[in-house]
């Protein structure tokens, strides 16, 4: 089954404790992206990747890191989480061409205390 | 920079009535326009898209959308709403450089 998976689905952590949210897709997509969803703000892009070893900042990259060492994986790293990073996070993937729709993971709800 | 506006936070309709969820966009160049739906505790699901060609595009679950270049709009429509259509709907625009922007979302409630 074609899918995007994220782990963990739910996470409660404390300020400053490094964490990683994994994202993996099995569709051989070149393009992958991370978004955060906050009430009234819709989805805002954090980082995206056009292919292996190619990443770029989205609209709200501060406090986040990503890597793309393999085509299928695109982990999101919070080196020192803060309460304002409490949010719902989505990973998405698509073929490279920009006329393609994105496939979304199920989401990760993160709470930073 | 491109942007998307969904002017209504909430749309309420009665079951069986037609529904419209509005979206306007701003982009340089030709836009690629998308609608996604989000059910509670789920990721976004693709509904339909406009790339080129016929201004009326049909998608999943009986939804359709009309691309209007002069009004820079891409409104989502359905002739007869179902209670199960109640969800959060997002409009999105993507340009040829893969810059993707989402609207803030519109919560659709269909009442029996």
Query: Which positions in chain B touch A33 (Cβ < 8 Å)?
Result: 100
What is the per-residue pLDDT for B100? Answer: 85
Residues of chain A neighbouring B44 (CB-CB closer than 8 A): 43, 90, 92, 102, 104
In chain B the domains, ranked by start, together with CATH numbers, are: 3-111 (2.60.40.10)
Q: Which value, to the nearest 10 degrees, does the dihedral of the CA atoms of residues B105, B9, A87, A106 take?
A: -40
A107 to chain B, closest Cα gap in Å: 6
Please enumerate in sequence order all residues whose Cβ is within 8 A of that of A76, keeping only pairs 6 or more positions apart, or say none. A20, A21, A23, A34, A46, A47, A64, A65, A66, A89, A91
User: Average pLDDT for residues A10-27, to the nearest whole number?
Assistant: 97
**What DSSP state is assigned to residue A70?**
S
Residue B60 DSSP label: G
pLDDT of amino acid B112: 95
Query: What single DSSP character describes residue A102?
Result: P
CA dihedral B28, B102, A53, A56 (to 10 degrees): 60
Q: Encoding tokens for residue A37?
A: 């969803």
Average pLDDT over chain A, rounded to an integer: 95
pLDDT in tens, B67-103: 999 999 999 999 999 999 999 999 999 887 778 899 9
Nearest chain B residue to A32 by CA distance is: B98
Q: What pLDDT, on the 0 to 100 scale, is given for residue A16?
A: 96
| Helices assigned H by DSSP within chain B | none
């Amino acid at each position: 089954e074609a899918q995007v998976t994220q782990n963990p689905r739910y996470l409660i952590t404390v300020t400053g404790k490094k964490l990683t949210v994994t994202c993996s897709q099995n569709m051989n997509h070149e393009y992958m992206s991370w978004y955060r969803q906050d009430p009234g703000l819709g989805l805002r892009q954090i980082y995206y990747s056009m292919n292996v070893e190619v990443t770029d900042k989205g609209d709200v990259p501060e406090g986040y890191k990503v890597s793309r060492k393999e085509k299928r994986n695109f982990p999101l790293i919070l080196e020192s989480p803060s309460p304002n990073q409490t949010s719902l996070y989505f990973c998405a993937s698509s073929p490279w061409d920009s006329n393609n729709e994105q496939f979304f993971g199920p989401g990760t709800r993160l709470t930073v205390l | 920079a491109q942007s998307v506006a969904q002017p209504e936070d909430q749309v309420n309709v009665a079951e069986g009535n037609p529904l419209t969820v509005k979206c306007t966009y701003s982009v340089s160049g030709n836009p690629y326009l998308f609608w996604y739906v989000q059910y509670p505790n789920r990721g976004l699901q693709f509904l339909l898209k406009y790339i080129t060609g016929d201004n009326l595009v049909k998608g999943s679950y009986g939804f359709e959308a009309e691309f209007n270049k002069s009004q820079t709009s891409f409104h989502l429509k359905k002739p007869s709403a179902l209670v199960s259509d109640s969800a959060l709907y997002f409009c999105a625009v993507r340009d040829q450089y893969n810059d993707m922007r989402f609207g803030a979302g519109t919560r659709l409630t269909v009442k029996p």
